[in-house]
Amino acid sequence: MLDTIIVGGGVCGLHLAGKLQSTGQDYLLIEARDRLGGRVETVPGSEREVAADLGPSWFWPGTQPRMARLVEELGLRSFPQHDTGTILHLPKGDGSPEPLPQSSVHIEARRLHGGMGMLIDALAGRLPAGRIRLRVELTRLIDRGDHVQLECLQDGVPLTLDARHVVLALPPRLVASRIVFEPALSDPLLEILRATPTWMAAQCKSISRFPVAFWRASGLSGNAFVTHAQAVLGEIFDASGEHGTPAALGGLSALPATVRTAFCKVHDLMIHSQYAQLFGPAAAQGELFVRDWAAEPFTCTELDLVVASAHPQDGIPELASAHWSGRLFLGGSETAAQSAGYLEGALDAAERIARELSARATDPLRSERADLRENRACLERFHRSVSLLRTNAIERYVTGIKRALSSQQSEDMTQIVLIEVAAHAYAAALECLQGLPLQLGEARVEHGRVSLTPALLAAFSGFTNDLLRDVQQHNASSCAISNFPAEQKLNQAYLQAIRRDLAAQWREFALALNEQLLERMEQVAIPD
């Protein structure tokens, strides 16, 4: 039986799978489509053709640190969204566009070289092929008590799978409308699932490709807004490559999904005409790609079509909670604590679930091992103590930075204070461990490691990554550090040096914890 099945091969599902793969956990990812990516879809580019993002295009490093970190970690290249030049406004259907006084639209947004599909390829590239199955549609989930049974259709043929945990990395409305649950989910939870809008589900996006960004020669940014009643595209933007060659214009539909369906035979012609009205006859000659997400059954539901579009709320507790006694998790960007609906939110949700699955893998309440069962209370006490240390770590860092500034210690102060904070947390944890009345009679030693060691170290899962993220966010917004650019925004070399030091600290702590257990086992073995 599998430990975890992830349903949904979008950014959340793929990122979670990568987390499980890196920690050696057992999993399978299934996706109903014949491709990965979910709402991320990119028409590949070439030297003469820019990659066309038909789903999300942008991320904002200043407010989306997970995306920025992942792009860097995967070795992907990004560039700033072109945003300079005149912004146009078309208020009348039979009129001419007018310049708007504003100077920017997509403030500090960045795009990926090769399109956002490069992110999907990189995430999938970290996973063995055998861990992914396409064209597998989940239709029913059955809680069997000690596991969950999944009834699926693979290319239309019934397929049954079993797993100890199931993660639905899908939009909540899709979960409510396409999956049958036995037993049924509670009415309050179903109401929350149905009330959570699927971001951009009813939207239609077009990309028109050109050899060069000819509009830039006229001083136009490529940004435009169309507000008259007959508008086909409501918002237009420059979708070109970094230097404008190859080039493209992108647009978001202003027409409701039902109207788009009614005009399906002339819809493409209407889009070409809209581009031409804004940027001249040459804009009607582009190679056009259109993705109507309202027509995608694995993205959009009936509710998304009949209820006015809205942005999902951050941090809805019921969406972030485990269900069916910890066997069922809700994922997808809309379940995020921060940036729900965005790519950042998908990563947030994936990392939350990865932490929970990791904790459950070493949870003494789920284990039948005698050494863990005998030490249940001690392990829980240790985890509570570490949780408090983790919570207080950023406050200790802020205090340390203030102390460094007051003593005029500015060089490498982020690195120095971070190491001090981590050292304090590890020393306090070892002190807490020393005071625990552990029962080591059933503990085992394999290859020098005590069997209790992983369960204790699990309390620090993700600690350094979380702390470094909080530190970067603090530094970026700190007025006190604003006079030290190298500390306010850490460059790649500085981050790598910090991560090396933190990794070395972690190894020393893990060895010290294990050594303390070994010494206590020896004391137990010595007869009185």
Query: Which of 206-215, 423-432, 490-499 is predicted least confidently?
Result: 490-499
Read out DSSP for 121-184?
A: HHHHHTS-GGGEEESEEEEEEEE-SSSEEEEEEETTEEEEEEEEEEEE-S-HHHHHHH-EEESP
What pLDDT, on a 0 to 100 scale, did the predictor assign at position 442?
A: 82
Domain 2-34+125-197+306-347 has CATH 3.50.50.60: yes
CA torsion through residues 341, 79, 354, 20, sign: positive
Provide the residue type at 335 as one letter: T
Burial class (CB in 10 A: 0-12, 13-18, 19+), 160: exposed
Q: How far apart are the first and last CA of the chain?
A: 47
Alpha-carbon distance 118 to 131, whole Å?
20
Q: Phi and psi dihedrals of 336, rounded to 5?
A: -75, 155
Band (pLDDT 50/70/90 cuts) for residue 165 is very high
What pLDDT, on a 0 to 100 scale, did the predictor assign at position 362?
A: 58
pLDDT in tens, 428-475: 999 999 999 999 888 888 888 898 888 898 888 778 888 888 888 888
CATH class of 46-113+202-295: alpha beta
Band (pLDDT 50/70/90 cuts) for residue 525 is low
119-127 average pLDDT score: 96
Q: What is the mean pLDDT of the chain?
A: 91
Alpha-carbon distance 307 to 195, whole Å?
9
Burial class (CB in 10 A: 0-12, 13-18, 19+), 451: middle
Residues contacting residue 263 through CB under 8 Å, at least 6 positions apart? 255, 270
36-45 average pLDDT score: 97
User: C-alpha distances in angstroms, 409 versus 412, 417, 471?
Assistant: 8, 10, 17
| pLDDT at 367 exceeding the cut of 70 | no
User: C-alpha distances in angstroms, 91 versus 277, 320, 518?
Assistant: 12, 43, 76
Top-confidence range, 45-49, 220-224, 241-245, 378-382:
220-224
**Cβ 249 vs Cβ 275: under 8 Å:** yes
Phi/psi class of residue 46: alpha, beta or left (left: φ > 0; alpha: ψ in -120 to 50)? beta
Query: Cβ atoms within 10 A of the Cβ of 50, count?
Result: 25
Alpha-carbon distance 174 to 331, whole Å?
12
pLDDT in tens, 193-204: 999 999 999 999
10-19 average pLDDT score: 97
238-253 average pLDDT score: 95
Peptide bond connecting 80 to the previous residue in cis, omega within 30 degrees of 0 = no
Element (H, E) at 27: strand 27-31
Q: Domain spans of the chain?
A: 2-34+125-197+306-347, 46-113+202-295, 368-525
What pLDDT, on a 0 to 100 scale, did the predictor assign at position 368?
A: 45
**Cβ 140 vs Cβ 160: under 8 Å:** no
Who wins on pLDDT, 443 or 56? 56
pLDDT in tens, 399-409: 998 888 888 77
